[in-house]
Amino acid sequence: MKVKNLRLTAVMALTAALLSLQSCNGDDPKGPDCNIPNADLSYTLNIKNIIDQQCISCHAPGSGVAGAVGDFRTYSGLSAYLKNGKILNAVVIDKSMPQGGGMSQAQRDSINCWIASNYPE
């Protein structure tokens, strides 16, 4: 009986350790945990193409979409909305963006992890 309990405890500890390894930022995740190693994510390498595909048809000057804030074609255009938490909220937390849907969970996860690692350029 005691041996069984020990084993169960060991399995649970191992599982917890593995789960914490999977999240990209143990200290202070800003959104739900992400499962992509954060060191691999940068705006230039991973994120820009997602934003280009999913956001700039509305969020760029001249799109003609009323209320679509900002100019998301560049890192500097995005940064105010990264800093004020609105992109995390819109894409990861309430998933209200992109308007009309069409974003994969993998893309949302990438953005979540990128933001959790302080959105490196």
3/66 with CB nearer ligand HEC: 66
Q: Is the Cβ–Cβ distance between 121 and 43 less than 8 Å?
A: yes
Contacts with 93 (C-beta within 8 Å, 6 or more apart), sequence order: 31, 32
Q: Which residues bind ligand HEC (CB under 6 A)?
A: 54-55, 57-59, 65, 67-69, 81, 86-87, 90-91, 96-100, 103
Q: Least distance to ligand HEC from the beta carbon of 12, Å? A: 37
Q: Least distance to ligand HEC from the beta carbon of 52, Å? A: 10
**Residue 59 exposed, middle or buried by CB count within 10 Å (0-12, 13-18, 19+):** buried
20/92 with CB nearer ligand HEC: 92
Residue 59: closest CA among 75, 74, 70, 46: 70
Q: Name the maximum alpha-carbon separation found in the chain.
A: 70
25/82 with CB nearer ligand HEC: 82
Q: Least distance to ligand HEC from the beta carbon of 28, Å? A: 21
114/117 with CB nearer ligand HEC: 114
Q: Least distance to ligand HEC from the beta carbon of 97, Å? A: 3
DSSP H or E stretch at residue 43: none
